[in-house]
Chain A
Amino acid sequence: MNSAIRILALSAVSSLLLAGAALADPQTKVALVPGGPHPYFSAWEQAGKDAVKDFGIGAADYRVPQKWELSQQSQLLESLLSQGYNSFLIFPGDAVGTTPVVQEIVENGGQALALAGCLKDPNPALFCMGTDVANSAYLGTKELIKAMGGKGSIAHFTGFLVDPNTQLRIDAVQKAADETNGAVKVIQVIADIDAPQPAEEKINAYLAAHAAEVDGIVTTAWVPAVTAANALRKIGDKRIKMVGIDHDEVVLKAIKDGYVNGTMLQNPYGQGYVGSYVLDKLRSGCTIKDSAPWAKNALTAKFVDSGTVFVDASQVDTYVDAMRGITKTLKENFDKDFLACK
């Protein structure tokens, strides 16, 4: 019986030595990893496929953690690193909590950049590319105030408190309201509702009680935007103005039907497409220019704005062209200002 155990142990050790060299794979293999399952990131999957087709990258796979939970994302990233992926586009599950696993990726010969959400400095990611959420929320609130005629009270529905962008958005909306020095007040912020069931319960409960006191709604997260659009359709009097976010067809249809004034589009497709392109370039000889014109935001000093645009009833049918336009300019900026290639 003892001999059997010895054989088993030997085979385990031998396979260990053999496999050591697998990691140094010449081809670029990109992994696009969101914080958890969410409609916003579904555009990344297509972006990865297009990037592989257009730029001949080894692979650009969209892999989703099972739950919106930090250790699930870390465990997936560790597994992807072991599977041979060497380039990562990561939406950080937590502005600080994701740093250690990015550190490990870099230490093991991989490269990573934060996408659609930033890591708090100092962090080992190359840089952060995403919507300038603060600016987008600020512009959106400005549009809402315009639609409200410059006065009244606003309710702000936003995403998970765990999501690094949420706090930025809350501050931006407050800033836009304060600039009306009192004419417009933010009377209610409901956060942590970026999932159908909590959104449904909280938004409906709030509107059921406070619809009379609210003149405008600004939503800075995908699911609350959808739920609020449905709620306004149910109330039906179009008195309450609303600026949504992202391009869910429920929101777009509500804009067409006049229940919602407009939506702040982000550019998830562009983020995934250009992000894969940049990482592939960096692995084939290019480097990031020292003189790169980094923007700054509350979390990091190396930030690239992937663009945002307000779409109202007039442009609602042509928003896809607007997004494609932003993506093209984004890629050109990278070639021109950010990348130095031999």
Chain B
Amino acid sequence: MNGDKLTRAFDNDWIGPALVSLVAIVVISIFQPSFLSPFNILVLLSAIAVNMLIALGQLVIIAVGQMNLALGSIGGLVAISFAAMMEIWQLPPLLAMCGGLAIGVAAGMASGYVIARTGISAFIITLAGLQIFKGINLGITEAQPFYGVPQSVKDFGNLAMAGPIPWLVLPMIVAGVGMWAIFNRLRIGRYILAIGGNRNAAELSGVNLDTTVIWAHALSGLLAAGAGMMLVARLQIGHPAIGEDWLISSFAAPVIGGAILSGGHVSVGGTFFGVVIIAIITQALVLFAIDPFVVQIVLGAMILWAVGINRLRELRVARAKA
């Protein structure tokens, strides 16, 4: 196909964050040469792999013009269920994984269904969902982690596939390519973006709003489940606290990657480099022994900065057309 298809595939949102992460890598490796050591790359890529699924989980909800506060607690619930299935019911890892993904999708569909049917703002429903799923998590684990994670799962979470590339990168690639395909090639992805872009136009064009919103939340649940189980593998423990700190980074990466919060425009590539930037900054702060909580300040500032830029871009487009 001609050039147009190419430019459309690589929308220009990812170029900015890509450059920033490149510069960051170069600068840091100058001050700290061990930044590029194989072991460090392994650790960095593992963090990026997990956070990419978390960011994609929020991205698919931002695309439909909503927000998902329950992302973390769905991830946590799936994490402990995954570990429990392996420890208590002695299920083989693959079967437990399918069980985990099913739980994630079910939880996502439940909140999607309530949001779609009642028309109540996604914020409040997913806030209630956050508490309910976290409550179920605590009810099952009574705040005690599950230790019975089989060695095969532990290896998947920590060993390298080739050189410094960890196995965890596999699910990231599958999820990244999968979501890119959904957003750019599958009908459900275009319908999700259509609702986010112009809800009324979508409705008039025969897009079934309710089912599409439920689909979006199901995908979000699936991705949260994936991230939760990847963390169980990496931490080698089914810990009830998994997912508690996902909220901020799940918004920061997509927004840095050029996603429009009112919905309708997302960039999987941009989100990936958003995740890379956050991972680099988090690690840099540890390397330079800066207070770890500075990350929170930086993330908050980056959200405001990215939102501000998107807002300016919208105003410029609006003014150009008026």
State yes or no: do A and B touch (Cβ within 8 Å): yes
Residues of A within 8 A of B (CB): 36-37, 39, 42, 64, 66-67, 188, 192, 195-198, 200-202, 204-212, 230, 234-235
Cα A234 to Cα B155 with chains together (Å): 11
CB distance from A76 to the nearest CB of B (A): 12
How many A-B pairs fall under 8 Å by CB? 68
CB distance B39 to A197 under 8 Å? no
CB distance A37 to B40 under 8 Å? no
CB distance B37 to A209 under 8 Å? yes
CB distance A202 to B292 under 8 Å? yes
CB distance A209 to B40 under 8 Å? yes
Cα A201 to Cα B286 with chains together (Å): 9
- By a CB distance below 8 angstroms, the chain B residues around A206 are 286-287
Residues of B within 8 A of A (CB): 32, 34-35, 37, 39-40, 42-43, 47, 138, 142-145, 158, 231, 234-237, 239-242, 245, 282-283, 286-287, 289, 292
B40: nearest residue on chain A (CB-CB)? A208
| Residue of A66, A202, A205 touching B138 (CB-CB under 8 A) | A66
CB distance A207 to B39 under 8 Å? yes
CB distance A234 to B145 under 8 Å? no
Cα A204 to Cα B166 with chains together (Å): 14
CB distance A197 to B43 under 8 Å? no
CB distance A200 to B34 under 8 Å? no
B158: nearest residue on chain A (CB-CB)? A234
Lowest 6 CB-CB distances: which A-B pairs, in order? A37-B143, A208-B40, A196-B235, A205-B286, A209-B34, A204-B43
User: SS class of chain A's interface: helix, strand, loop or mixed?
Assistant: helix
CB distance B32 to A209 under 8 Å? yes
CB distance B37 to A66 under 8 Å? no
CB distance B37 to A67 under 8 Å? no
CB distance A209 to B35 under 8 Å? yes
CB distance A211 to B39 under 8 Å? yes
A39: nearest residue on chain B (CB-CB)? B145
CB distance A192 to B286 under 8 Å? no
CB distance from A170 to the nearest CB of B (A): 15
CB distance from A224 to the nearest CB of B (A): 13
CB distance B231 to A66 under 8 Å? no
Cα A234 to Cα B236 with chains together (Å): 13
- By a CB distance below 8 angstroms, the chain B residues around A36 are 143
Known: A37-B144, A206-B286. A200 touches B234 (CB 8 A): yes
- By a CB distance below 8 angstroms, the chain A residues around B283 are 205
CB distance from B78 to the nearest CB of A (A): 15
CB distance B282 to A66 under 8 Å? no
Cα A204 to Cα B43 with chains together (Å): 7
CB distance from B140 to the nearest CB of A (A): 13
A191: nearest residue on chain B (CB-CB)? B292
Known: A208-B37, A209-B40. A202 touches B143 (CB 8 A): no
| Residue of A37, A197, A209 touching B231 (CB-CB under 8 A) | A197
CB distance A37 to B240 under 8 Å? yes
- By a CB distance below 8 angstroms, the chain A residues around B35 are 209
